[in-house]
Structure 1
Amino acid sequence: MSDIPHLSNLAISLKNGVAVLKYNRPEVGNALSVPMIEDILSGFKWAQDQDEVRVILQTGVGRFFTTGLDLKDKSVTGPGTVISDAFLNTMRELHKIMINSNKVLVTAVNGPAPGWGTTSLALADLVYASPNAVFFTPFVQLGIAAEACSTVTFSKIMGHQKAASLLLAGERMTATELENLGLVTKVLPKECFLENVLKICYRIASQPPEALELNKKLLMRNSRQELLSANETELKFLRERARSHESRSAVNVFLLDQGRKKQEKTEAKL
């Protein structure tokens, strides 16, 4: 086994066949920057290459799973775009490795998970959520396009109308609502949340490895190509939308609104 990589924005551990990838930017709610998503991709590549790893578990450090795209980070935006090519290219590769993986992918949503934190759930095999988790996708509000194959997976999992309520209407949903709709496998108590998810992961990883891998391949055999195609299509349109005048204007309005709300909170504390 190769040494566990030490990354600035991702904490990695391995025990009993379970590789845990913890998003580690708690000071900004684990928001996604280029260095952050590059570290997540590096963590996945490492875990994917280890024969000892049977399960890859993603979760977040702190109160948030992830707050989504970090629109204030200079690595994310670029000249004439609200999402840089570096970010989009890395996201494309991350989705591909998740789709093609024969490991069991588990997501433990420890807190709020807007944007990619919501859409990426459908690329996992199992999703466990804390009761305090909140899910929504502000793509239309920001003038951009959905990603993580959610334009395909959401309709298949929860039906067109519920998918539209997330992707088009930008409605917020609770962990219990998404459990009822099938996007969340199970809501677990907040107390000892990660420990309880790890127990499930250790049990899965202890099963006969060849049978585990074979059955994962069988589960994915009819959907992999569709998801890979959806990934390419979504990111093509996301790249175009990120360069549009509409998106740049919408993001400016969003950032101004966020700044105003932050100022109001600061003044209320004085």
Structure 2
Amino acid sequence: MEFTKTTEQDSNYNNLEKMSITDLLKNINIEDNTVPKAVQKAIPQIEALVQQIVIKMEQGGRLFYMGAGTSGRLGVVDASECPPTFGVSYNRVIGLIAGGDKAIREAVEFAEDSTTQGWTDLTQHNITEKDVVIGIAASGTTPYVIAALKKCNSEGILTGCITSNSNSPLSQVAQFPVEVIVGPEFVTGSSRMKAGTAQKLVLNMISTTMMIKLGKVKGNKMVDMQLSNDKLVDRGIKMLMSELSITYIEAERLLKKHKGVRKALNHYNYGN
């Protein structure tokens, strides 16, 4: 099967500059509505990848996301949200971006073209066979990502990927590829749009499902979340109120004493 970059194909729309603001917004939204359907088709692939991640994480492994540009930034965002949401340490889910942290805010020219830097970035975190590396690239052709995954494979490290092109070089390298085919972008080649949305949805699915299976959610509540601001403290108090059928004042006192929702629940229910 010949590799074709659908993410680079001409938009289904033309003369964008002549459209009204209303038409631009409506047409972008029309395109965006196709993304969840494309993600739905990829659920079997996502499931296969998550099953492997959970096994590795239960054994003490870590999850790495790596990408360039938008793809790298989305991986960094998802990784950075795991500790406050699920109470895990910052070294359990790690986001790497071509060009380093500077590239989170501004483009670093040609960083994605390096075939050695990706593995160098991983080795700085002492990566081992316990870990999992997910390469994120809408195009499926980013050298920084592909070369790193190839090296991971040779070192016995589990690899996955998220891409928006069928049969891409990245998909062929990754042991557990996830292909979300969103088609041409509204602005031709602007893969921060539908492809980026697809990546964000898939990353949400991967990290959330993984954390639930690792026991970081009770019922439907984030009982291990970090109480890092007043909003989250209030949320934690209300969780305790709902779970234990106690007053706001009682829940607040319990939370302040035990510094966490799970600890407060365990003490209240089991006295430990």
From the CA coordinates, give the structure whose radius of gyration is larger. 2
- TM-score past 0.5 threshold: no
User: Which TM-score applies when normalising by structure 2?
Assistant: 0.30
Q: Which has the higher contact order (CA 8 A, sep 6+)?
A: 2
User: Which TM-score applies when normalising by structure 1?
Assistant: 0.30
